[in-house]
Structure 1
Amino acid sequence: MTVTGTEGKTLMQSRTLGERLVTSALGLGCMGMSEFYGGRDDAESVATIRRALDLGVTMLDTSDMYGPFTNEELLGKAIAGRRGEVVVATKFGVERRPDDGYFGLNSRPEYVRRACDASLRRLGVDHIDLYYQHRVDPTVPVEETWGALAELVAAGKVRHLGISEAPADVVRRAHAVHPVTAGQYEYSLFSREPEADLLPTLRELNIGLVAYSPLGRGMLTGSIASLDQLEQDDYRRGTPRFQGDNLDHNLALVARVRKLAAEREVTPGQLALAWVLAQGPDVVPIPGTKRRRYLEENVAALDVRLSPADLAAIDASTPPGAAAGERYPSRPPVGHR
């Protein structure tokens, strides 16, 4: 393994999702800036987004349901005056009300159109580069939803379409209506489920994979040793992988990753991100952070080169299915990423 470059001087690589959406090889997930992962600091979040642009990170990921609604507004503020540098990715399909905690699925065509217009207003842009169906609505045939999305593309409001956490057969049905550019799924050393059926389907159809939570919701950074480090309103406190024996088991896996990283003089998080990046040129991880120092550490993972021997050692340390506990609670907030 070799590491090149110096802090703040990483030469940003690009990757192509689908037929023609060119984006930075590493993106930035903005969800935690507004909700789910503890307290907010909007000033630092805006500074983090702008620093990401300075470093060449173009893929910025949000959703109308984060906040709710406020994360899109935050992103819009941060990219004002720099629209040409950004691939704006947002989502619809998880309906929320700001006053009562309601979560529900809604992919009816009339809702899709309203949601798109509302996102455009909050973001302060005239088009969305990548618009995802956040979760599949079982009450609405995907063909109806994607018919409405195709109309948004024809109207110039959306450039590319994506889908999130949909099974392979639903991806095929959506793709038959309008090309799917990207599928967004949890993918990391702790969540390797996409490798079975999903990745082969995406590659057959020339659909890129956008990997959310590529750091195992922060655990793979090696910085979390107990729940006491998480704020009281942090969503992870209620997730199975952060509970009891599951947490102990998963921290033992992290210790293996930490050892491999130390031997190669990189951080555990950089090793974990480099592994995701090495899974193919059609994979774009979007680690989330709300602090500039962690952003810079993540971007430096692009300088990590993994040899076949490195990849074999990492696979042996955290094989598919190694992590203990389900990804979500039995009844998570619908559409939480």
Structure 2
Amino acid sequence: MTTTGAAPGRASRRIASFEVPALGLGCMNLSHAYGVAPSAEDAERLLLTALEEGVTLFDTAALYGFGANEELVGRVLAGHRDRIVLASKCGMTGVGGRRVINGRPETLRRTVDEALARLRTDVIDLYYLHRLDPRVPVEESVGAMAGLVGAGKVRALGLSEVSAATLRRAHAVHPIAALQNEYSLWSRNPERGTLQAARELGVALVAFSPLARGFLTAAPPDLAVLPADDIRRNMPRFDERHYPANLALRGELEKIADEAGLTLPQLALGWVLSRGPHVVAVPGTRSVDHLRENLSVLDTEIPAGVLDAAGRVLNATTVHGARYNEATLTEIDTERCGRVG
């Protein structure tokens, strides 16, 4: 596709009836996945600063911290409910200390009430099916979620980590407002079908991990000090076979950013947002400074040639390793893209 240069700007992008800035906030790492979570005070400060800086889309899930992240978001932002678009996810939760995918209608009807209580609200603006349950046709899961809309518990529906074919099947049951898939310079799966399908159907493509799970931030993860429970320890792109080669590619991107007067996060986020006016990104961070750096891309003009150069350096062909290990990939419905192993 043709790259569009210039700044994304503070102009709104649309998710269903909601107008949001092109960058929202992914809240996962305030409670989940990346080692030791920040203190409650630091997490609260991050959320409130995001609100002050103009973020309106806050993205959480029942899975994150096995409910703890929804509780955090609810506690901190319930008093500002009329200022935000609140997104959460169902269909993948913590049960007995383990992650469980369950898209059965009765489960989704029960867990939405649990989510509403944790979030301290009477309605969730955007509710995603977090993962497709292979035992349950997507039509059944989305049909149950459509019932939540009818009951006034949810305003709009989304899907996460699914293919273009699944998106179309779901959309035929009930309008899908947003598709949240991983999308970044090194994760190009949406380009195999969902980016175009979303555009055709009027669906927002919400990019999670647009900074490549911290790889394209100011300081890439140091494998020597990653906590044992950090999810990147099980991702091939961060293992000892592939990480050095990926770091070399990162060095080339840094040169492109430096020559253009950009930071690497600005370049990486600018590239994602240039993929289309229906693309919204939800980077996560635990740092107020990094939050502000990320948001600065909305006011940063980036020439199309710079974005194209970045895309040639790091892409599905040049990246080393798959985005997930094989066991996790079998749980995900998206089109595969990039190297394996």
TM-score (structure 2 length as normaliser): 0.91
Given the alignment of the two structures, is residue 34 of structure 1 paired with residue 31 of structure 2, yes or no? yes
Aligned residue pair count: 327
Counterpart-to-counterpart distance in 2, 1:247 and 1:140:
37
**CA displacement at 1:256 relative to structure 2:** 1.2
5+ unaligned residues in a row in structure 1: which ranges? 5-9
**CA displacement at 1:70 relative to structure 2:** 0.4
**CA displacement at 1:307 relative to structure 2:** 1.8
Counterpart-to-counterpart distance in 2, 1:170 and 1:277:
24
**CA displacement at 1:212 relative to structure 2:** 0.2
Letter in 2 for 1:242: F
CA RMSD of aligned residues (A): 2.0
Counterpart-to-counterpart distance in 1, 2:317 and 2:97:
33
Counterpart-to-counterpart distance in 1, 2:280 and 2:156:
16
Which residue in 2 is equivalent to 1:310?
306
User: 1:276 is matched with which residue: 272, 278, 281?
Assistant: 272
Which residue in 1 is equivalent to 2:242?
246
User: 2:104 is matched with which residue: 105, 108, 113?
Assistant: 108
Compare 311-320 and 104-113 and name the one that shifted more.
311-320
**CA displacement at 1:318 relative to structure 2:** 1.8
Q: Deviations over 1:30-84 (max 9, x none)?
A: 1111111011222111110110110110111110011100000000111021111
Letter in 1 for 2:158: G
Letter in 1 for 2:12: S
Counterpart-to-counterpart distance in 1, 2:294 and 2:230:
21
Letter in 2 for 1:25: A
Counterpart-to-counterpart distance in 2, 1:103 and 1:208:
27
Classify 1:284/1:11 alpha carbon distance in 2 versus 1 (closer, same or farther; 3 Å): closer
Which residue in 1 is equivalent to 2:320?
324
Counterpart-to-counterpart distance in 1, 2:302 and 2:177:
27
Which residue in 2 is equivalent to 1:58?
56
Counterpart-to-counterpart distance in 1, 2:159 and 2:45:
29
Which residue in 1 is equivalent to 2:179?
183
Compare 169-178 and 100-109 and name the one that shifted more.
100-109
Classify 1:297/1:229 alpha carbon distance in 2 versus 1 (closer, same or farther; 3 Å): farther
5+ unaligned residues in a row in structure 2: which ranges? 333-341
Which residue in 2 is equivalent to 1:7?
none
Counterpart-to-counterpart distance in 2, 1:95 and 1:17:
25
**CA displacement at 1:316 relative to structure 2:** 2.0
Among the aligned pairs, what percent are the same residue?
Answer: 45
Q: Deviations over 1:158-194 (max 9, x none)?
A: 0110000111111111100100000000000010121
Which residue in 2 is equivalent to 1:95?
93
Q: Is the Cα contact below 8 Å between 2:91 and 2:103 reproduced in 1?
A: yes
Aligned residue for 1:323, secondary structure, equals coil
Q: Is the Cα contact below 8 Å between 2:85 and 2:125 reproduced in 1?
A: yes
Counterpart-to-counterpart distance in 2, 1:284 and 1:321:
24
Compare 239-248 and 115-124 and name the one that shifted more.
239-248
Compare 113-122 and 324-333 and name the one that shifted more.
324-333
Which residue in 2 is equivalent to 1:292?
288
Counterpart-to-counterpart distance in 2, 1:313 and 1:2:
12
Classify 1:63/1:322 alpha carbon distance in 2 versus 1 (closer, same or farther; 3 Å): same
Which residue in 2 is equivalent to 1:84?
82
